[in-house]
Amino acid sequence: MIEGLEGINIAVSNPEAFVRFYKEQLGVPLVFEGHGNYIGAKLAFSRHDPGIIVWDKASGDVTTQGPTEFVFRSVDLDKTYETLKFNGVDIQPPFLADWGGKELRCADPEGNSVLILEGAY
């Protein structure tokens, strides 16, 4: 039976740049470096948490369809915004969403949407 979610596979054209963006600019830990050249690398907050599993599009090992949106959470979105801005992320300030919490959006080097939430929904 299914015991939990391991993560989300994503095939990208430049795994190294993708991993670097999430690790160095957004601060998502790299818990598994992959099978060479970041192929099969896992970005997550622990080895046992669900994560983003990165594959090289050119290898054909994993194919995914369409853009993806990654959703993260933050306790202090204003501070997160300042940190990401300092890290060089092209980002707009957080805003109050219709559901009552704050949201912050940006895009990764592959054009995938990154959504960071503050507050319960």
Report the first-to-last Cα separation within the chain, whole angstroms. Answer: 29
Phi-psi label, residue 38: left if phi above 0, alpha if psi -120 to 50, beta otherwise: left
* pTM > 0.75: yes
- Residue 45 confidence (pLDDT): 96
Q: Residue 14 sits in a domain of what CATH number? A: 3.10.180.10
Domain containing 43: what range? 7-118
For residue 1, is it within any domain? no
Question: Does residue 2 lie within any of the structural domains?
Answer: no
Could you give the number of structural domains in the chain?
Answer: 1
pLDDT tens, per residue, the chain with 121 residues: 556 788 998 999 999 999 999 999 999 999 999 988 898 899 999 988 999 999 998 887 776 767 888 889 899 999 999 999 999 999 999 999 888 889 999 999 999 989 898 876 6
Rounded CA-CA distance 69/54 in Å is 14
Q: What is the pLDDT of residue 5?
A: 81
Tell me how far apart the alpha carbons of residues 9 and 65 are, in angstroms, rounded to a whole number.
Answer: 11
One-letter amino acid at 81 equals: Y
Task: Note whether residue 22 is domain-resident.
Answer: yes
Asked whether residue 26 is domain-assigned, the answer is yes
